[in-house]
């Protein structure tokens, strides 16, 4: 049987590929940094902890220079305050992680220097700013620390501008540029110097690189010739796990970790996120995401659902049907299905673009898409309150 032209072309291409594969270097896709070793690569809290250490003049082994470099373009008076502190005043600087204001809101990092200077940093890796968040922070800072000099920074991946004009935007790229100007002799304290440089390295490797840099040449070859090239499977799986770690980081950023539980496993095809108060006897309300590390680089799309399960789900759904009538327009405006025929216990179902595919060129919009469903979470809370009251009367 004569081989077809298509077969001959494919065989010729594979022979060329085999030669190329032999010369591709065997190397790790990414440098292993401290956060990545502990699976905290995109963990906002972990990165904030790391940054607060780097800026803490008492702990970082460098002193005030990192702090000065970060704030010097925003306030000359703040720099003057730092440079003229007495030894006693230097030892009493307070660096507070997750400072709680009187209204209950918490900012990621607040640095208090005597009663003269307040430096506050709100760190956002993937999450977007909550309603009036920076405005509330600024108001609280002015009320609780009157008469001080203030440097308020909004740290994001791309230097997004905050809602409040009192906060200055700063990108991770700008932050690293400032920290690289810090002079630190290895001979002074090798251990602390390594930790300081590690923060910079992690930001450069994982926060500043383009998405295209996260995929190896081997994975690109596999995606193009996945039906015939099995040699590249190990590279493909390695990159898939890295992207899945990014997905998990974005989910944890989109939901407040203190209020939500996360049941996420890399090899499973579904993952749940739910409020701790939503998991009670006879009722389980949760967000569900259908994607896994096995298809995160190949699936064209994936589903995001909000489901009601448990023996008492029908009672809850009857109540929610009435609530749905009030907010139906919001469902339609956001292209959200309500209780589809083949999944009647789902009060929301959306088919989302798979933003993690290498051929997806635009910005990853997963967090923004999840935020479009916040009004449903609010509706659930209203119905849940009525549901609990009804159950107590039974």
- Residues 324-343 pLDDT 10s: 999 999 999 999 999 999 99
Full DSSP string of 213-271:
GGS-HHHHHHHHSTTT--TTHHHHHHHHHHHHHHHHHHHHHHS-TTTEEEE--TTSS-E
Res 127: pLDDT: 76
Give yes or no for a contact between 166 and 134, defined as CB atoms under 8 angstroms apart: yes
Res 212: pLDDT: 45
285 has pLDDT over 90: yes
C-alpha to C-alpha distance for 372 and 303, rounded to whole angstroms: 14
The whole model's pTM is what?
A: 0.56
- Residues 7-25 pLDDT 10s: 565 567 667 767 766 766 6
Reported confidence tier of residue 149, pLDDT bands at 50, 70, 90: very high
- Residues 75-95 pLDDT 10s: 999 999 999 999 998 999 999
> Cα dist. 242→50, 236, 385 in Å?
21, 10, 40
Phi, psi at 16, each rounded to 5°: -65, -40
Query: 335-370 in b/e burial notation, b at 16+ Cβ within 10 A?
Result: ebbbbeeeeeebbbbbebebbbbbeeeeebebbebb
- Residues 343-359 pLDDT 10s: 999 999 999 999 999 99
Q: Looking at 138-147, 217-226, 265-274, 292-301, which range is the least confident one?
A: 217-226
Res 27: pLDDT: 55
Full DSSP string of 112-181:
EETTTEEEEEEEESSPPPPTTHHHHHHHHHHHHSTT-EEEEEEEESS-PPPSSTTSEEEEHHHHHHHHHT
């Amino acid at each position: 049987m004569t081989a077809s032209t298509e077969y001959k072309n494919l065989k010729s291409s594979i022979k060329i590929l085999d030669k190329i594969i032999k010369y591709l270097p065997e190397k790790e896709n990414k440098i292993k940094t401290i956060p990545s070793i502990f699976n905290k690569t995109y963990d906002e809290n972990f990165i904030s902890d790391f940054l607060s250490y780097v800026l803490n003049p008492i702990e970082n082994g460098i002193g005030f220079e990192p702090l000065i470099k970060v704030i010097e373009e925003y306030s000359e008076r703040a720099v003057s305050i730092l440079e003229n502190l007495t030894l006693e005043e230097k030892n009493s600087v307070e660096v507070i992680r997750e400072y709680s204001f009187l209204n209950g809101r918490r900012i990621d990092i607040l640095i208090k220097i005597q009663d003269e200077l307040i430096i506050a940093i709100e760190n956002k890796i993937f999450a977007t700013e909550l309603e009036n968040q920076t405005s509330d922070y600024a108001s609280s800072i002015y009320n609780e620390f009157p008469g001080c000099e203030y440097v308020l920074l909004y740290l994001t991946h791309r230097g997004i501008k905050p809602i409040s004009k009192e906060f200055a935007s700063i990108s991770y790229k700008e932050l690293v540029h400032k920290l690289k100007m810090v002079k630190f002799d290895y001979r002074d304290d090798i251990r602390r110097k390594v930790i300081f440089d590690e923060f910079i390295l992690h930001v450069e490797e994982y926060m500043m690189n383009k998405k295209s840099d996260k995929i190896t040449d081997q994975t690109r070859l596999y995606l193009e010739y996945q039906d015939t090239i099995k040699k590249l499977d190990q590279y493909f799986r390695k990159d898939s796990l890295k992207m899945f770690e990014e997905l998990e980081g974005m989910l944890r950023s989109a939901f407040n970790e203190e209020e939500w539980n996360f049941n996420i496993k890399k090899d499973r095809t579904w993952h749940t996120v739910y409020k701790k108060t939503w998991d009670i006897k006879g009722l389980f309300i949760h967000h569900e995401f259908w994607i896994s590390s096995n298809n995160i680089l190949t699936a064209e799309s994936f589903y995001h659902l909000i489901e009601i399960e448990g023996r008492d789900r029908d009672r809850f759904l009857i109540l929610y049907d009435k609530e749905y009538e009030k907010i139906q327009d919001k469902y339609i405006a956001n292209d959200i299905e309500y209780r589809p025929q083949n999944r009647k216990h789902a009060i929301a179902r959306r088919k989302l673009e798979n933003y993690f595919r290498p051929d997806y060129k635009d910005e990853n919009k997963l967090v923004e898409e999840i935020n479009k469903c916040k009004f449903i979470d609010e509706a659930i809370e209203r119905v849940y309150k009525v549901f609990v009251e009804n159950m107590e009367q039974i």
